[in-house]
Structure 1
Amino acid sequence: ILDNLSPVELESFSRCNRKFQHFVKIYKTSVFRIEKIYGTFFDPPEVIGEFQDLQGSTGLVVSGSTALGFFTRGHYAGDLDTYCQLLHSRVVGHWYQSHGYGYVPTDGQLDDLDADIDRVNAAIRADTPTIAVFEDTDIREYKLHNIAAVWNFQHGPRQIQLVATKYSPLKTILSFHSTCVMNVVTHRAAYCLYPKLTLESRATLLVDMEIPLTEVQAYAVDKYVRRGFSVLH
């Protein structure tokens, strides 16, 4: 029953009596656990704590489907989308590599991660456009002016994308194609920027998209329609 209640409904249910309040408290402790979203990508469990320490020291944040799934209490298969400023990307990339994730260069990237980070830094200093290849249709629809590079890391079937931004990662997240993916998990908390629309109404508002949508845009939006969101524009 509790799985089908929205956050507001859960709060209302918990106020019925002390017994229900106890049930809801146990339920929240069970479902809103960081292990629910990070456990797929990091093991043993102690590594999750190390990852949060990395987030705290570098400003690394998690967004995309993983963050959305934390709030909706659903599981959406896919990559772990992580974001940090370019100046911290080397530390983050090395951490991924030290925990079993191999760097997988895409077209235009150098085979060595350090060399490619140097390439991107040099291009930005020279004010030369950089090429970022996105696997996720969501990211391909983002405004790219704040994105310096995207590096992929693979560990068996698990993949992490490191999106390096020129300025604050939030600048990129606030440029996402629709509101339902504007969610962030930091080292200490998770934030849903449009909780009423996303979690109560199960709706998403398209941002800076013109109708008719392109094929890529329509595919990205349809992914959330299949997940139960109605689309507003």
Structure 2
Amino acid sequence: MSQPELVEDLFNCPPAYNVVLACLSPADIIRLGKTCRLLRDAVASFQSLAYNINRHLEHFVSDPLALRKLQVKYKFLISGSNALQFLDRTFYYGSDLDIFVYPENVKELGSHLIDHEGYIFQHSEKQEPKYEDVAITPRNLSVLHRTASQGEFVYNSQLSDLLKFKNKKRDLEIQLISCRRSPLDCILYFHSTPVVNFITADMAYSLYPKATFDKRIALQFGYEWHEATGKAYKKYAERGWEFFSKLTWDKAKEIQPCTIPDTIRYLDDEHTWRVPLDTAGLDLYPSAKKSDSKGKSYSFSYFNGYSSTMTVGIGYEVYHSKSMEETYVFAERNFCDAANQLVDYLEEYDPSRKKGLK
């Protein structure tokens, strides 16, 4: 049998090519799928199995579809190491499920975990023992200009409340992170690039896939001498990512294709890796059939200061209007100005919008 025939037989047999593809990295699988139609179809078939979001969430909840229906309703994001594990097709023993949610939806989501999924609220020293008595800090939009750089980064400053839930029967934990401004703001303000990934109701995103899944390098937005930040860097270094505590100009130039500096980024641009998810059983509104990525942007920049080493950061503006349910993230202030003009037009066309959200 000739080599082309062998390849054709291999990639026409799902049990065979699934074994082969399972040994490859996400980046290598994408490259393989670009070679020919046969391998493209094999990769698509493999990814439908490898990126089964319901099976992934079944580790934490008995009814993943019910949780995802709440995600459609409340627009929360799943992120942290859980999204990284999903995209990397791996498993970190003892890791939890981090859900980033708007403050006004935290209590309803927590009640679902308690009433339907067998979780118990684990209060902190500063929280009320009874879940129904816990007060959730409302959104704080006093600071709208954001830069996640070493000069300004403060660990966990993007969240306002953290609620932990333990499973009654298994050693599992779900954390609800109440976001000070928005879920995406929390994620863009993470400590380093390997965890800048998230899962929506219909799509999984990696904002720096080449650095994270191909080169296995990590750009840090904080200083390792900060205790919590340093622990995070050590943990992900042990998991295989290379950190640069001192980023020189030469190194920055070398890794530039992985970071896409000084470029306005969008969630649907060519540099973002998007994995479509099965939406069967989800009541997505017609306008939400695809993830709302057009209205969210940011930029990655180098800051050299007066030394031979550099720091990096993600910069953006947080935008919110009482006429809009969500809080948006824009790369530049003029995007916010354009949004204000749109809101003014919509309010003039439909005066009921001026009343804002109930």
Q: State the alpha-carbon separation in 1 of the partners of residues 60 and 103 from structure 2.
A: 22
Does structure 1 residue 110 correspond to structure 2 residue 128? yes
* SS of residue paired to 1:117: coil
Q: 1:179 to 1:16 in 2, by over 3 A?
A: closer
RMSD (Å) for aligned C-alpha atoms: 2.2
Q: Give the CA deviation at 1:7.
A: 3.4
Q: State the alpha-carbon separation in 2 of the partners of residues 51 and 105 from structure 1.
A: 22
Q: Give the CA deviation at 1:33.
A: 1.1
Q: Give the CA deviation at 1:96.
A: 1.0
* Greater relative contact order (CA < 8 Å, ≥ 6 in sequence): 1
Q: State the alpha-carbon separation in 1 of the partners of residues 55 and 85 from structure 2.
A: 9
Instruction: Give CA-to-partner distance per residue, 1:142-195, whole Å, 9 cap, x none.
Output: 341x32211111113111001111221111111111011111111111111111
The match for 2:91 is: 75
Q: 1:4 to 1:104 in 2, by over 3 A?
A: same
Letter in 1 for 2:52: R
Is the Cα contact below 8 Å between 1:90 and 1:117 reproduced in 2? no
Q: Which of 58, 64, 72 matches 1:39? A: 58
Q: Give the CA deviation at 1:196.
A: 1.2
User: What pairs with 1:162-177 in structure 2 (closer than 5 Å)?
Assistant: 162-177=176-191
Is the Cα contact below 8 Å between 1:37 and 1:66 reproduced in 2? no
Is the Cα contact below 8 Å between 1:62 and 1:81 reproduced in 2? yes
* SS of residue paired to 1:20: helix
Letter in 2 for 1:186: T
Instruction: Return the TM-score normalized by structure 1.
Output: 0.82
Does structure 1 residue 228 correspond to structure 2 residue 244? no
Is the Cα contact below 8 Å between 2:198 and 2:205 reproduced in 1? yes
Is the Cα contact below 8 Å between 2:27 and 2:213 reproduced in 1? no
Instruction: Return the TM-score normalized by structure 2.
Output: 0.55
Q: State the alpha-carbon separation in 2 of the partners of residues 30 and 51 from structure 1.
A: 20
Instruction: Give CA-to-partner distance per residue, 1:193-216, whole Å, 9 cap, x none.
Output: 111111111111001x23x62444
Larger Cα-atom Rg: 2
Is the Cα contact below 8 Å between 1:142 and 1:172 reproduced in 2? no
Instruction: List runs of 5+ in structure 1 lacking aligned partners.
Output: 128-140
Instruction: List runs of 5+ in structure 2 lacking aligned partners.
Output: 1-19, 143-153, 246-358
Q: Give the CA deviation at 1:17.
A: 4.1
Count of matched residue positions in the alignment of Structure 1 and Structure 2:
210
Q: 1:15 to 1:84 in 2, by over 3 A?
A: closer
Does structure 1 residue 148 correspond to structure 2 residue 167? no
Q: Which of 159, 167, 185 matches 2:173? A: 159
* SS of residue paired to 2:135: helix
Q: Kindly report structure 1 stretches of 4+ aligned residues shifted beyond 6 Å.
A: none
Q: State the alpha-carbon separation in 2 of the partners of residues 179 and 116 from structure 1.
A: 33
Is the Cα contact below 8 Å between 1:36 and 1:70 reproduced in 2? no
Is the Cα contact below 8 Å between 1:62 and 1:80 reproduced in 2? yes
